[in-house]
Structure 1
Amino acid sequence: MGKNIIITGTSRGIGYQMVGLLADTEHQVIALSRDAVPVSGLGLTNCHCLPCDITQKGDLIKVADYIGEHWGRVDILIHNSGNLVNKPFSQLKAEEILQCYQVNVFGVMHLTQQLLPFMGKKGHVVGISSMGGVQGSAKFPGLTAYSSSKGALNTLIEVLAEEYKDSGPSFNGLALGAVQTEMLEEAFPGYKAPISAKEMASFVLDFALNGNRYYNGKILPVSSTTP
């Protein structure tokens, strides 16, 4: 049976590749991104693109209204949007730190709040996190805001899994290592990751579709290299 899947951050990288992999499948997809043009250009019959800034409450309400009118239920929510700033701690501006948290943490919280009424026991919420947010993992200078926000995301996922363990949905996080995306290039210019965005997109989708049969409240490292 096809699933109703929502993916954020679909204009590039892993999110864009996930939408492409879902083309012509039995699943229905809503692709959320501030820039809906890249996905709209794919011409997918089973995908609806909604321009959405997850830091804006009005945009999130519009998403919930659309789901209430057209779907009625959400089976899978993949929080893939991310914000990264690579700058020495002493030079970080308050607005840069806030924006990182707005996208990586607060936006996740607020979108989840909007969509929970449409999700049941078998639903699955997946947060795309980072090894940089995992306690004891290698950390890198310049990624203070990013890594700490991903640490907050990991804890958020664990707490929500406990709070909704009886009613559902399930909550899990994937702490990704190096994947060849635009965001990696921003953080580590010139570094070449062993995993492509499309390869990781395939892994994330499989986990989103099946992982809640085996996991709840888990932050799973998905990394073969450092970074």
Structure 2
Amino acid sequence: MSKRIVITGASRGIGNETSKRLAELGHQVIAISRSKDLLNQLKDEYPSNIEPLALDITDSSAGETISQYLSDNSVKIDGLIHNAGVLINKPFSEQTRSDWQKQFEVNLMAPALLTKDLHEFFNSGSHIITISSMGGYQGSSKFPGLSVYSATKGGLSILTECIATEFSDKNISCNSLCLGAVQTEMLEQAFPGIEAPVEPEEIAEYISEFILNGHKFYNGQILPVTLGDPG
């Protein structure tokens, strides 16, 4: 049975590959990103399964824009993947208020507000996934330069537990996947020359399977997805 999934950060990396994988499986994806051109390229590849929606998730009107789209098209959704993220690799003592604000808004505030604004459009049995990081997983190794990023991702994981509790009476599940290093453009920009053990296509296959079936076994869980202990 085809499901309808919303994915943020869908123009590049993990979000892009997850959108493709779900489309290949025959599901309908509402792909969200700031880049209209890249979203249209994704749409061209999968014209029957991708619906692009270009917007900045940190805009105060983002939730209203998505809600209006869903309402105008009489759409209910079965899943939401909070994949969009930003990483600023900088020593803690050099992180500015602007650095804090940018990472906080993208990595934590936007997922919280979008979930709140879209909750009325979820079908019973829906699944929300937050894409966190091993850097935000309690007890994992921590790395210099990732203090703010890790803090926001840790907050995202705790938010996941809270959403699962808040929505339990609506039969809506929420889980957090704390990913280790994946060879994405964001990682390469933050750590030039790094070689991660996992490719975006590989983790996209895992996330696609998890959004479709993971809520049958998990709810309110913070799950490490790593081959070692990278942040």
Q: TM-score range by the shorter chain?
A: over 0.9
Per-residue deviation, 1:91? 1.0
Q: Does 1:64 align with 2:80?
A: no
The equivalent of 1:15 in structure 2 is: 15
TM-score of the pair, normalised by structure 1: 0.96
The equivalent of 2:165 in structure 1 is: 162
Per-residue deviation, 1:12? 0.8
Per-residue deviation, 1:26? 2.7
Point out where structure 1 has 5 or more consecutive residues left out of the alignment.
Answer: none
Per-residue deviation, 1:89? 1.1
Per-residue CA shift, 1:120-167, capped at 9, x if unaligned?
330000000000001110000111110000000000000111121121
**3-state SS, counterpart of residue 153 of structure 2:** helix
Q: Does 1:91 align with 2:94?
A: yes
Native 8 Å contact 1:6 1:29 kept in 2 = yes
The equivalent of 2:32 in structure 1 is: 32
Native 8 Å contact 2:131 2:177 kept in 1 = yes
| CA distance 1:71–1:192, change in 2 (3 Å) | farther
Q: Does 1:129 align with 2:102?
A: no
1:70 corresponds to which letter in structure 2? N
Quote the Cα distance in structure 1 between the aligned partners of 2:225 and 2:190. Answer: 18
Q: Does 1:101 align with 2:137?
A: no
Q: Does 1:218 align with 2:221?
A: yes
Per-residue deviation, 1:71? 3.9
Quote the Cα distance in structure 2 between the aligned partners of 1:130 and 1:136. Answer: 12
Quote the Cα distance in structure 2 between the aligned partners of 1:135 and 1:201. Answer: 24
1:192 to 187, 192, 195: 195
1:47 to 39, 47, 50: 50
Per-residue CA shift, 1:198-227, capped at 9, x if unaligned?
100110010000000000000110000232
Quote the Cα distance in structure 1 between the aligned partners of 2:80 and 2:148. Answer: 24
Instruction: State the Cα RMSD in Å.
Output: 1.2
Native 8 Å contact 1:21 1:202 kept in 2 = yes
Point out where structure 2 has 5 or more consecutive residues left out of the alignment.
Answer: none
Native 8 Å contact 2:108 2:152 kept in 1 = yes
Quote the Cα distance in structure 1 between the aligned partners of 2:22 and 2:95. Answer: 38
TM-score of the pair, normalised by structure 2: 0.95
Quote the Cα distance in structure 2 between the aligned partners of 1:187 and 1:33. Answer: 20
The farther-off stretch of 106-115 and 57-66 is: 57-66
Equivalenced residue count is 227
Per-residue deviation, 1:74? 0.8
Per-residue deviation, 1:24? 4.6
The farther-off stretch of 189-198 and 99-108 is: 189-198
Quote the Cα distance in structure 1 between the aligned partners of 2:201 and 2:228. Answer: 17
2:183 to 180, 183, 196: 180
Native 8 Å contact 1:52 1:60 kept in 2 = no
Q: Does 1:205 align with 2:208?
A: yes
